[in-house]
A and B are shown apart, each in its own frame.
Chain A
Amino acid sequence: MRWVFSAILISMLGGALALESSTPASTLSKRIAVSMAQRSDGIPASDARPAPAWGNTSWLNSTAPISLASLKGQVVLLNFWVFTCYNCTNTVPSLKLLDSTYRARGLVTIGIHTPEFPPYAGEHDRGNVAKALSKYGITYPIAQDNDRATWSRYNIHYWPSFVLIDKEGRIRYEGYGEFHVGDKWHAEWEKRINTLLAE
């Protein structure tokens, strides 16, 4: 009888080990956290690469498409988001505060609205995006990135993501993940914005 229990126990231990090796979400979390840390120091101006131009044609909160070239001399904060992402909409109050605080000093906040799903989910619909802007009180310009072209050019992987571009059109800071008014990451982005505005 003992050998039966031993066999069962060994198989259970094996199963437990197999289960342990199949819990990679924590690994992914660690990987993303490491990436955030690596990116948090920013890129020196001398090493910074030029921000890719975007060609989005559908804009909200703007009477005409905004080009990157037209923003030279200003600091640009790009926010890659989608209204079906709770982490993204949770960050909106923070972005609104940054926009209202620094717009007059030369910060341009732009939302790049990038759908996750195909059009059947409704994220591509301009009317749905407009409703979301109204719901969350977003007044800064939003580009619809329905073909994910700008998302791909900036090599974005997560919702929400952020790119901070200096006055010379170079990418100086990148990061991702929800943040809130008053928290560490809001303060960090505010510090970065101030650094670039002062250059």
Chain B
Amino acid sequence: MQSIRCVLRAATGIACIAATLSGCARVEEGEIARNELVSLMVVGVKGVRTLRLDAAPGAQINALLPPTVEFSPTERLQLSSPLVTADSSYFTASPSVSIGDVSAKRGVLRASVCPAAVKVCKFVELPVALP
């Protein structure tokens, strides 16, 4: 009985530490825009700064109209992912894009987001400031 308790304690401890560390990693990623349907993150992927758009639970990001961040009329980043639903309508993984050498810091995120439960799409427009 004593040994089972010890094992459980150790497992709980490891799980706690792992969860805490992954929580820290999320914080380091840096959320730069958010509303009730989506959050836009700056993440490092293999040393490359990348924008990633995450949908809130129950929401789907429209792949027929991929999200964009517009920094100026001539400078625009389109977020995408090769992983989409069978009908190509929604992203099944968070769309992303490398920030590259964008010169501007401020822009506007535009996305079409569709809460699955009610089968409508909603236009999302959020100001974005790159760190």
Q: Does B90 contact A (CB under 8 A)?
A: yes
Identify which of A71-79, A97-105, A112-120 touches chain B. A112-120
Contact A116 B56 (CB under 8 A): no
Mask, B103-124, CB within 8 Å of A = 1, is 0000000101011011111110
Are A33 and B112 also in contact (CB < 8 A) when A117-B65, A120-B76, A158-B122 are? Answer: no
> Which chain A residues (75-133) contact chain B, with CB distance < 8 Å?
84-88, 90, 116-118, 120-121, 123
CA distance A28 to B117 in the complex (A): 10
Contact of A87 (CB < 8 Å), options: B57, B76, B121: B121
Q: Does B20 contact A (CB under 8 A)?
A: yes
Q: Does A189 contact B (CB under 8 A)?
A: no
Q: Which residue of A lies closest to B19 (CB)?
A: A12
Interface size class, chain B: 35 or more
Q: Which residue of B lies closest to A11 (CB)?
A: B20
- Chain B hits for A173, CB < 8 A: none
Q: Does B72 contact A (CB under 8 A)?
A: no
Contact B114 A29 (CB under 8 A): no
- Chain B hits for A28, CB < 8 A: 36-37, 59, 115, 122
Contact A25 B115 (CB under 8 A): yes
Are A117 and B118 also in contact (CB < 8 A) when A5-B13, A29-B58 are? Answer: no
- Chain B hits for A27, CB < 8 A: 36
CA distance A11 to B58 in the complex (A): 26
Contact A26 B112 (CB under 8 A): no
Interface size on A, residues (CB 8 A): 37
Among B9, B16, B55, B121, the most chain A Cβ lie within 10 Å of the Cβ of B121
Contact A32 B120 (CB under 8 A): yes
Q: Does A182 contact B (CB under 8 A)?
A: no
- Chain A hits for B100, CB < 8 A: none
Are A86 and B89 also in contact (CB < 8 A) when A23-B56, A28-B36 are? Answer: yes
Contact B17 A8 (CB under 8 A): yes
Among B20, B117, B119, the most chain A Cβ lie within 10 Å of the Cβ of B119
Q: Does B80 contact A (CB under 8 A)?
A: no
Q: List 22 A-B contacts (CB under 8 A).
A: A5-B9, A8-B17, A12-B16, A22-B56, A23-B56, A23-B57, A23-B58, A25-B55, A28-B59, A28-B122, A29-B58, A84-B62, A85-B64, A86-B64, A116-B112, A116-B121, A158-B121, A159-B112, A159-B120, A159-B121, A160-B120, A161-B120
Q: A residues near B, CB below 8 A?
A: 5, 8-9, 11-12, 15, 22-29, 32-33, 36, 84-88, 90, 116-118, 120-121, 123, 157-161, 176-178
